[in-house]
A and B are shown apart, each in its own frame.
Chain A
Amino acid sequence: MPAATTLANCARSLLAALAGAWDRIWFQDRPTVPLEVARIGIGAALLENYGMATPHLFEFWGEAGWMPRAVAAQYADDPWIQSILFYVTAPWQLLAFHIVFLLSAFALMLGWRTRWVKWIVLVGHLSYLHRNPVLQYGVDLILASLLLILCVAPTGRALSLDRVRAVRAAKRDNLNAAPAPYTSVWAGACIRLMQIQMATLFFFSAVSKIRGDDWWNGDAMWVVFRTYDFYNRFLLSLFASHYWLVNVATYGTLLVEIAFPFLIWQRATRPYLLAAAILLHVQIGIFMGMPYFSFVMIMGHMSFLRPEWLARAAAAWQRKIGDLEMLYDGDCGFCKRSMAWFMAFDGLRQIRARDFRRDPSPVVASELVEKALYLVLPDGRALPGFEAYRYVVPRVPGLWWMIPFFYVPVLSRLFGHPIYNWVAANRGRLSALTRPRSRSPRRQQA
Chain B
Amino acid sequence: MQLKTWRKRAIYAAMSAFVAWHSLATLTAPVPPEATGLQPLRDLLRPYLWLLSLDNNWDFFAPNVRRGYQFRYVVEAADGAAHTFVPTQDVSWYSPNFWWIRQWQDAIVDDPDLNADRAVALLCRKHAALHPTAITLVEVDQKEFSPRDWLAGKRPFDPDFLAPQMMTRVECQPQQP
Cβ contacts under 8 Å, A338 to chain B = none
Minimum CB distance partner of A231 in chain B: B156
Minimum CB distance partner of B66 in chain A: A227
Instruction: Mark out the residues of chain B between 59 and 82 whose CB falls within 8 Å of any chain A CB in the assembled complex.
Output: 59-70
Instruction: Mark out the residues of chain B between 33 and 79 whose CB falls within 8 Å of any chain A CB in the assembled complex.
Output: 46-47, 50-54, 56-70
B-side interface size class: 35 or more
Contact between chains at A141 and B56 (CB < 8 Å) = yes
Q: 1/0 per residue B84-121: CB within 8 Å of A?
A: 00001000011111111011101100000011001100
Q: A153 to B95: give the CA distance in the assembly, Å.
A: 31
Contact between chains at A78 and B65 (CB < 8 Å) = no
Contact between chains at A56 and B97 (CB < 8 Å) = yes
Contact between chains at A228 and B61 (CB < 8 Å) = no
The reply on A292 being an interface residue by CB < 8 A is yes
The reply on A380 being an interface residue by CB < 8 A is no
Q: Pick from A26, A71, A126, A291: contact of B53, CB below 8 A.
A: A126
Known A-B contacts A144-B52, A227-B68; the reply to A26 vs B47 at CB < 8 A is no
Contact between chains at B53 and A130 (CB < 8 Å) = yes
Cβ contacts under 8 Å, A240 to chain B = 147-148, 150-151
Q: 1/0 per residue A185-219: CB within 8 Å of B?
A: 11001001100110011001100110111110000
Cβ contacts under 8 Å, A204 to chain B = 30, 57-59
The reply on B83 being an interface residue by CB < 8 A is no
Stretch in A60-68, A329-337, A360-368 with 4+ CB within 8 Å of B: A60-68
Min C-beta distance of A240 to chain B, whole Å: 4
Min C-beta distance of A85 to chain B, whole Å: 14
The reply on B9 being an interface residue by CB < 8 A is no
Cβ contacts under 8 Å, A129 to chain B = 53
Cβ contacts under 8 Å, A201 to chain B = 30, 58
**Residues of A contacting B: mostly:** helix
The reply on A8 being an interface residue by CB < 8 A is no
Known A-B contacts A74-B114, A136-B103; the reply to A226 vs B15 at CB < 8 A is no
Contact between chains at B61 and A209 (CB < 8 Å) = yes
Q: A144 to B51: give the CA distance in the assembly, Å.
A: 11
The reply on A222 being an interface residue by CB < 8 A is yes
Min C-beta distance of B142 to chain A, whole Å: 6
Min C-beta distance of B49 to chain A, whole Å: 8
Q: A215 to B64: give the CA distance in the assembly, Å.
A: 7
Q: Pick from A80, A126, A189, A289: contact of B98, CB below 8 A.
A: A289
The reply on A182 being an interface residue by CB < 8 A is no
Contact between chains at B15 and A65 (CB < 8 Å) = no
Cβ contacts under 8 Å, A229 to chain B = 68, 102
Contact between chains at A134 and B62 (CB < 8 Å) = no
The reply on A434 being an interface residue by CB < 8 A is no
Minimum CB distance partner of A59 in chain B: B122
Minimum CB distance partner of B28 in chain A: A200
Known A-B contacts A208-B63, A237-B150; the reply to A27 vs B1 at CB < 8 A is yes
Across chains A and B, which 4 residue pairs bring their CB atoms closest together, nearest first? A227-B68, A212-B63, A289-B93, A208-B62
Residues of B whose CB lies within 8 Å of any CB of A are 1, 12, 15-16, 18-19, 22-23, 26-27, 30, 46-47, 50-54, 56-70, 88, 93-100, 102-104, 106-107, 114-115, 118-119, 122, 142, 145, 147-148, 150-151, 156-157
New A-B pairs, 13, CB < 8 Å, besides A141-B53, A193-B19, A220-B61: A26-B15, A27-B1, A78-B50, A80-B51, A138-B58, A145-B56, A189-B19, A205-B60, A211-B62, A226-B142, A227-B156, A228-B157, A229-B68
